[in-house]
Structure 1
Amino acid sequence: MNTSPQRALKSLLHLAVTFALFNSVGAYAANTGELPCTTTEQCAAQAAKVGATPDSSQTEHKTKGDPTQTQFAWLNRINKASIVMLTEEGIVKPDMGQKIAGGVRYAIAQADQPGGTRPSDVLQLEKIMTDKIGPEASLIHSGRSRQDMLATYRLAVLRSQVLAYSEALNATRLRLLNIADKNVDTLVPAYTNGVQAMPISYAHYLLAFEAAFERDGQRIRELYTRLNKSPMGTAVLANSAYPLNRERLAELLGFDGVRENSLDSSQVSTYDIPIEAANLASSSAIRVGAMIGDIHTQYHQVRPWLLLDEAATYTSSAMPQKRNPGLLMRARESASDVVGLAQAVTLRAHNVTTGMTDYKFAFDSLGVLRATQTMFHSLDAVLDALQINPQRALEELESEWTTSMELADTLERQYNVPFRIGHSFASLIVTEARSNGTTPKTFPYADAQKLYRQAADKYQWTPNSLPLDEAGFRAALSPTTMVQTRKGTGGPQPQEVKRMLVQARKTLEGDQQWLKERRERLKTAEGHLDTAFDKLADSKR
């Protein structure tokens, strides 16, 4: 029987649809535990193929991280804590707890054997255990999920990176204080609006930045209090029907307590805690960039007072006179990287609905806190190479009019001349001096007397004769005198700078002790976990 072309086409379409539907019936979501996985690389590739969470510390393009902080290592640590807690709470019987502990131990040990694997996926790791001891190994998963396990792992990684950030920050602060110690009497110009403003000591300048980094130390401690709360035991996001002891899990894994709300624990706090850490690093980077800029501007001068040791620079391929400060540029680049990466962490979380993975490990995959360590190490290299010329810095001050405000202040303090008259007088001097090229040391005293009369007459002030003799006039314009006569808390006067140095060292010692104690607590918790796990695994039944 003849078939029309239209009917033939319709039949073919029906056949195609039927074929597609038939074949789609056999398509299931990938179970990563059942995919071929005989090497660490193959395990990672299989997980990545279906978009499972990778271990960013072990991926290409990055230096391998601390082996104790890898996803594989932390999943095993979580497995240890889980089986200890499940057995202690009677959720798993002691004999079964011992058997499963043996499976955990095997999964850890096989990684160091020829042909061993270090999978970073939960189900791939579980498969190693079930292949060894049977399906009972999956009882370790009672009341938990990838969600709380990976939230715990990521928080532990963030915790480690924040402590490393603290260590790098403290090392830079110590360098700043050591340089400041040697430069209490080194006078330098300070700037506002890019223009010389007043003389201070270089120690005073360095203490200002150390104080800013000290505040970062405070912020790190505050962040750590919020950060170090365990999400483990919340399962997907709403706990489970198992009476898990979340507090015990937190203790075994080195956390200071639990993050109470189960939804917040693995789905909401994963927004703000990493963003807070990243933005804190970005804030540090802004100040690092400012310091580098202050040093780098000296290279714009013909006779700078602040340079890097020549051995820490490199020559031009064409211009013999150049000594390029590459360390400054690398440090500034690294600071800019931190600022950019921190913004990327925020952007990854922006407009993403709760529970997505986009934002949960952005801090680690982007490497913002690793970049922060690099930044401080780069700044340390600059500080170690810094060469300061106190004589040239003083010459810079004495050739400019940075003490003119002190002239007005002296007239007010000693002779009750209203500040605005003194300010007008000093401004007239600066204008005339710059027009004829004179400095505070060479400006004619007779001209100063004439200009004072002009300023006093403007405000109808009597007497209109300059009350300062020439010695007093020169002293008021001396950078050394100005700095030494400052009063009040926090000024650049040497005794106050020395006091601030002592206090800054005490504060730094406290921050170093805090860091030491946090790391000791984590080490102690790890020891307690290993002891409890070994007791279970080695128990005689």
Structure 2
Amino acid sequence: MNYSQTPLRLAIRIALLPLALSISLGNAQAAEKKEVHDYFYYLGEMNKASTVMVIENNIVPKDLGKKIVSAVEQVIKDGDKPGAERPADYLDYEPLILKLAGPDGSRMHSGRSRQDILSTTRRLMQRERALNLLASMNQSRAAFLDLAQNHIDTIVPAYTNGVQAQPTTYAHYLLGFTSVFDRDTTRLQQAYARLNLSPLGSAALGTSSFPVDRKRLSDLLGFDAPVENSYDATQLAALDTGMELTGVCSSAAQTIGLMVQDMHIQYHQPYPWILIQEGHLTGTSSIMPQKRNPYVLNRLRLQASDIVGGAVTFEFEGHNVSPGMPDYKRDQVEKTLDQTTQAFDLLTDMLGNLIIDKNRALQEVDADYSTTTELADTLQRESDVPFRVGHHFASDLVSYGRQNKIKPADIPFDQVRVIYRKALQAFNLQGGQFPLTEARFRETLTAQNMVSASKGLGGPQRAEVERMLGAEKLRLKADQEWLNQQRQKLAQARIQLDSTFYALGH
């Protein structure tokens, strides 16, 4: 049954459009909704848009247009049946329309080619996946911020060159990662603006003699505008837009990999300060009963490697290939976008299952000498000792403590005075007594003191962390609103396309 035979059914459908729009917009705002459609679906959407355009521009008479509307609708319905074939190639798809509408059904294809159809399909599929990725990135960033909120004062060790460097807070550490993912989000939003342009109506590469309204096709499919140059639209743009999208994915995957590696280092220790809750993200050994393997870290690391590999694969597919070849028009970009979305979903799951042992983290900091930078700073700031002299003294203090297997808090104060005098002599300086009291010296070497003493922009001190946390929340909210707006726009375009298409069949 088709709409041209059932005016009542059409009237009911159009009357319900405002409700359908409301439902669709509500769904568009649900971050967890991540639809992924196939080639067949988007061939159907393009056929709807093309049918509308050729009828509106008198390329196809209205009476014949009704017949084409009916055929396009029926092919979509048949393909949606369980187990039905869903052709991805237009040369396999068109015979289904001709079977219902006869040879005149091919007039819907006026001014089109498989070249612009494929280029448009790529963009439609990548557009959908880019928004899905942004939704997963937003969810992950929210999880980072929730975790940071709970660990503003949790002191943890930070590392450079693979060894403990300075203490920071876990919130400060997490906000560092959200800063990177903020940039990746911005990059993807900017890439989306260049992606969301329509090649449809460009034909093979030079348009056609039919009065094809490319702007109308663009609007019907929810694009922001057409790709202006038709040669670019069908033969060139798929490469650079794909490079941009996979590049963002690769960047994000590299950062995920950094965090995974950092966490894995802790898992090398007998008593890590960070653990993953036992359950679906961990596993046991088939022979060693003590093992609690952090499988999620393995999965994330491998996923990140696959994403980087996928980006490189796409780059090589397009490298040294003449325009018009299919190498860079395949589905590698979609695969990489999907993998990155899955990686962020897994990362979000992991963040919700972390166990942070604050006392153990502080013990690890206190067991080493990562606060001695602040000792040198304090000597300069409070006692006018040149930084390099204070640094030399602090370094000698570390050497003494490590040689004697003494923690910073346990170094005898009389030995501190001896080491300080020797440091002065190394710079041919005379004098003196070590300028700090023992109480001040001990306080200076505590991680809590070093963190709270930080005054620089973006440092780990509570005031700065709280400021950055608030700013990150505002940025996340803005990005969530941006995503909702894009999804709402596409939902409105889909409903408008259906409304116009089915009305033409009446």
Instruction: Choose which of 454, 477, 483 in structure 2 pairs with 1:515.
Output: 483
Q: Could you say which residue in structure 2 is the equivalent of 1:61?
A: none
Q: Could you say which residue in structure 1 is the equivalent of 2:72?
A: 104
Q: Could you say which residue in structure 2 is the equivalent of 1:39?
A: none
CA distance in 2, matches of 1:419, 1:141: 76
1:90 CA displacement:
2.0
In the TM superposition, what whole-angstrom CA distance separates every residue of 1:443-487 from its partner, at most 9, and x where no partner exists? 111111111111112223344321111111111111101101110
Letter in 2 for 1:122: Y
Q: Could you say which residue in structure 2 is the equivalent of 1:373?
A: 341
In the TM superposition, what whole-angstrom CA distance separates every residue of 1:336-392 from its partner, at most 9, and x where no partner exists? 111111111111111111111111124257x21111122122222322221111011
Instruction: Choose which of 398, 406, 423 in structure 2 pairs with 1:430.
Output: 398
CA distance in 1, matches of 2:82, 2:300: 42
Deviates more, 1:107-116 or 1:412-421: 107-116
1:106 CA displacement:
2.3
CA distance in 1, matches of 2:40, 2:284: 47
1:302 CA displacement:
1.9
In the TM superposition, what whole-angstrom CA distance separates every residue of 1:142-195 from its partner, at most 9, and x where no partner exists? 111111111111110010111111111111111111111111110011100001
- Measured on the aligned residues, the alpha-carbon RMSD in Å equals 1.7
1:316 CA displacement:
2.1
CA distance in 1, matches of 2:293, 2:326: 44
Q: Which structure has the higher relative contact order (CA within 8 Å, separation 6+)?
A: 2
SS of the equivalent of 2:352 reads: helix
CA distance in 2, matches of 1:327, 1:249: 44
1:132 CA displacement:
1.5
SS of the equivalent of 2:159 reads: strand
SS of the equivalent of 2:310 reads: helix
Instruction: Choose which of 347, 353, 371 in structure 2 pairs with 1:385.
Output: 353
CA distance in 2, matches of 1:327, 1:109: 41
TM-score, with length taken from structure 1: 0.85
CA distance in 2, matches of 1:532, 1:430: 77
2:423 counterpart of 1:455? yes
In the TM superposition, what whole-angstrom CA distance separates every residue of 1:493-525 from its partner, at most 9, and x where no partner exists? 011101111111111111111111111111100
Task: Indicate conservation of the 8 Å contact 1:453/1:466, yes or no.
Answer: yes
Instruction: Label 1:68 to 1:409 Cα distance change in 2 as closer, same or farther (>3 A).
Output: closer
**Percent identity for Structure 1 against Structure 2:** 44
Letter in 2 for 1:394: L
Task: Indicate conservation of the 8 Å contact 1:345/1:362, yes or no.
Answer: no
Deviates more, 1:83-92 or 1:265-274: 83-92
SS of the equivalent of 2:328 reads: coil
Matches within 5 A, 1:67-466: 69-112=37-80, 117-311=85-279, 312-364=281-333, 367-466=335-434
1:113 CA displacement:
5.5
Letter in 2 for 1:427: S
Q: Could you say which residue in structure 1 is the equivalent of 2:19?
A: none
1:310 CA displacement:
3.1
CA distance in 1, matches of 2:83, 2:124: 28
Task: Indicate conservation of the 8 Å contact 2:181/2:252, yes or no.
Answer: yes
Q: Could you say which residue in structure 1 is the equivalent of 2:448?
A: 480
1:246 CA displacement:
0.6
1:259 CA displacement:
0.7
Deviates more, 1:208-217 or 1:450-459: 450-459
Q: Structure 1 unaligned segments of length 5 or more: list them.
A: 1-65
1:408 CA displacement:
0.5
Deviates more, 1:519-528 or 1:83-92: 83-92
Q: Structure 2 unaligned segments of length 5 or more: list them.
A: 1-33
CA distance in 2, matches of 1:159, 1:328: 29
Task: Indicate conservation of the 8 Å contact 1:457/1:464, yes or no.
Answer: no
CA distance in 1, matches of 2:124, 2:278: 43
Instruction: Label 1:321 to 1:112 Cα distance change in 2 as closer, same or farther (>3 A).
Output: closer
Letter in 2 for 1:511: D
Q: Could you say which residue in structure 2 is the equivalent of 1:60?
A: none
In the TM superposition, what whole-angstrom CA distance separates every residue of 1:186-244 from its partner, at most 9, and x where no partner exists? 00111000011101000000000011111111001110011101001100000111121
1:96 CA displacement:
2.2
1:68 CA displacement:
6.9
SS of the equivalent of 2:226 reads: coil
TM-score, with length taken from structure 2: 0.90
CA distance in 1, matches of 2:408, 2:154: 19
SS of the equivalent of 1:449 reads: helix
CA distance in 1, matches of 2:222, 2:278: 47
SS of the equivalent of 1:303 reads: coil
Deviates more, 1:126-135 or 1:501-510: 126-135
SS of the equivalent of 2:112 reads: coil
Aligned length: 473
CA distance in 1, matches of 2:203, 2:329: 16
SS of the equivalent of 1:156 reads: helix
Instruction: Choose which of 485, 491, 504 in structure 1 pairs with 2:459.
Output: 491
Letter in 2 for 1:218: T
CA distance in 2, matches of 1:78, 1:143: 13
Instruction: Label 1:114 to 1:334 Cα distance change in 2 as closer, same or farther (>3 A).
Output: closer
CA distance in 1, matches of 2:165, 2:504: 70
Letter in 1 for 2:231: L
Task: Indicate conservation of the 8 Å contact 2:35/2:128, yes or no.
Answer: no
Q: Could you say which residue in structure 2 is the equivalent of 1:530?
A: 498
SS of the equivalent of 2:156 reads: strand
SS of the equivalent of 2:485 reads: helix
CA distance in 2, matches of 1:141, 1:322: 62
SS of the equivalent of 1:359 reads: helix
Which protein has the larger Cα radius of gyration, Structure 1 or Structure 2? 1
Instruction: Label 1:68 to 1:137 Cα distance change in 2 as closer, same or farther (>3 A).
Output: farther
CA distance in 2, matches of 1:227, 1:133: 34
1:294 CA displacement:
0.8
Instruction: Label 1:67 to 1:134 Cα distance change in 2 as closer, same or farther (>3 A).
Output: farther
1:115 CA displacement:
8.7
Task: Indicate conservation of the 8 Å contact 1:68/1:74, yes or no.
Answer: no
Instruction: Label 1:304 to 1:109 Cα distance change in 2 as closer, same or farther (>3 A).
Output: closer
Task: Indicate conservation of the 8 Å contact 1:67/1:73, yes or no.
Answer: no
1:319 CA displacement:
2.1
CA distance in 1, matches of 2:139, 2:230: 38
Letter in 1 for 2:162: G
Task: Indicate conservation of the 8 Å contact 1:348/1:362, yes or no.
Answer: no
CA distance in 2, matches of 1:152, 1:215: 27
Instruction: Label 1:392 to 1:272 Cα distance change in 2 as closer, same or farther (>3 A).
Output: same
Instruction: Label 1:310 to 1:93 Cα distance change in 2 as closer, same or farther (>3 A).
Output: closer
SS of the equivalent of 1:528 reads: helix
